[in-house]
Amino acid sequence: MTDTELPRTPDYDAWPIDADLDTVSFTPRLVTVRWSDGRISRYHGIWLRENATDDTTINPATRERILDLSTLPAWPEVEGAEIDATGALCVDFAPEDRRLRFHPGWLRAHDYDNVSDPEAPLVPVTTWQGGPEAGPDTLDATGLLDTDAGDDAEEAILAPALESVLGKGLVRLRNLPTEPGSLEAIAWRIGPVRPTNFGQLFDVRAKPDPDSNAYTSIALPPHVDLPTREYHPGLQMLHCLENSVEGGQAVMLDGFAVAEALRDRHPEAWTTLTRVRWCYANTARTTDYVWYEPMIRLDARGKLLEVRIADFLRGPLQTAFEDVEPAYEALMTLQRLLRDPAFAIRFTYAPGDLVIFDNRRLLHARDAFEGASGHRWLQGCYMERDEIRSRYRMIQRARRQRRLTTDA
Residues 345-384 that bind its own copies (CB under 8 A): 384
Least distance in Å: CB of 85 to its own copies?
Answer: 25
Q: Looking at beta carbons only, is 246 or 288 nearer to its own copies?
A: 288
123/37 Cα distance (integer angstroms): 26
373/369 Cα distance (integer angstroms): 8
291 makes contact with its own copies (CB under 8 A): yes
Chain residues 299-338 in contact with its own copies, contact rule CB under 8 A: 300, 311-319, 321, 324-325, 328, 331-333, 335-336
Least distance in Å: CB of 376 to its own copies?
Answer: 17
190/200 Cα distance (integer angstroms): 15
Q: Looking at beta carbons only, is 19 or 394 nearer to its own copies?
A: 394
Helix, strand, or coil (residue 182) = helix
Q: Looking at beta carbons only, is 115 or 153 nearer to its own copies?
A: 115
**Which whole-number Å values give the CA distances from 364 to 169, 172, 357, 369, in the listed order?**
12, 14, 9, 16
| Strand partners of residue 239 | 354, 379
Q: Looking at beta carbons only, is 53 or 164 nearer to its own copies?
A: 53
366/358 Cα distance (integer angstroms): 17
Q: Looking at beta carbons only, is 177 or 234 nearer to its own copies?
A: 234
Chain residues 205-224 in contact with its own copies, contact rule CB under 8 A: 209-213, 215-216, 218, 221
Least distance in Å: CB of 142 to its own copies?
Answer: 25
Q: Looking at beta carbons only, is 182 or 333 nearer to its own copies?
A: 333
Residue burial 88-120, b: 16+ Cβ < 10 Å; e: rest: bbbbbbbeeebbbbbbbbbbbbbbeeeeeeeee
229 makes contact with its own copies (CB under 8 A): yes
Q: Looking at beta carbons only, is 332 or 350 nearer to its own copies?
A: 332
Least distance in Å: CB of 162 to its own copies?
Answer: 13
Cβ atoms of 4 and 59 within 8 Å: the answer is: no
Q: DSSP letters along 92-127, please?
A: EEETTTEEEEE-HHHHHHT-TTT-S-TT--SS----
Q: Looking at beta carbons only, is 136 or 234 nearer to its own copies?
A: 234
Least distance in Å: CB of 247 to its own copies?
Answer: 17
Angle CA 250–219–239, to nearest 5: 35
Q: How many residues bind its own copies (CB under 8 A)?
A: 93
Stretch that binds its own copies, among 7-15, 16-24, 137-145, 264-272 (CB under 8 A): 7-15
Query: Helices (DSSP H) in 246-323: which residue ranges?
Result: 255-265, 267-275
Q: Looking at beta carbons only, is 68 or 148 nearer to its own copies?
A: 68
Chain residues 117-136 in contact with its own copies, contact rule CB under 8 A: 118-119
Pattern 25-54, its own copies, x by CB under 8 A: ----x------------x-x-xx--xx---
| Strand partners of residue 27 | 30
Stretch that binds its own copies, among 4-12, 77-85, 140-148, 179-187 (CB under 8 A): 4-12
Q: DSSP letters along 75-93, please?
A: S-EEEEEEE-TTS-EEEEE
Q: Looking at beta carbons only, is 188 or 347 nearer to its own copies?
A: 188
Chain residues 239-278 in contact with its own copies, contact rule CB under 8 A: 277
The only residue of 303, 339, 375, 402 in contact with its own copies, by rule CB under 8 A = 339
Chain residues 171-200 in contact with its own copies, contact rule CB under 8 A: 191-197
147/398 Cα distance (integer angstroms): 16
Least distance in Å: CB of 387 to its own copies?
Answer: 8
169 makes contact with its own copies (CB under 8 A): no
Cβ atoms of 102 and 86 within 8 Å: the answer is: no
Closest residue by Cα to residue 343 from 222, 210, 203, 218: 222
59/382 Cα distance (integer angstroms): 34
**Which whole-number Å values give the CA distances from 263 to 104, 125, 301, 328, 359, in the listed order?**
44, 18, 16, 16, 21
Cβ atoms of 400 and 13 within 8 Å: the answer is: yes
Chain residues 50-109 in contact with its own copies, contact rule CB under 8 A: 50-51, 59, 61-71
Least distance in Å: CB of 175 to its own copies?
Answer: 27
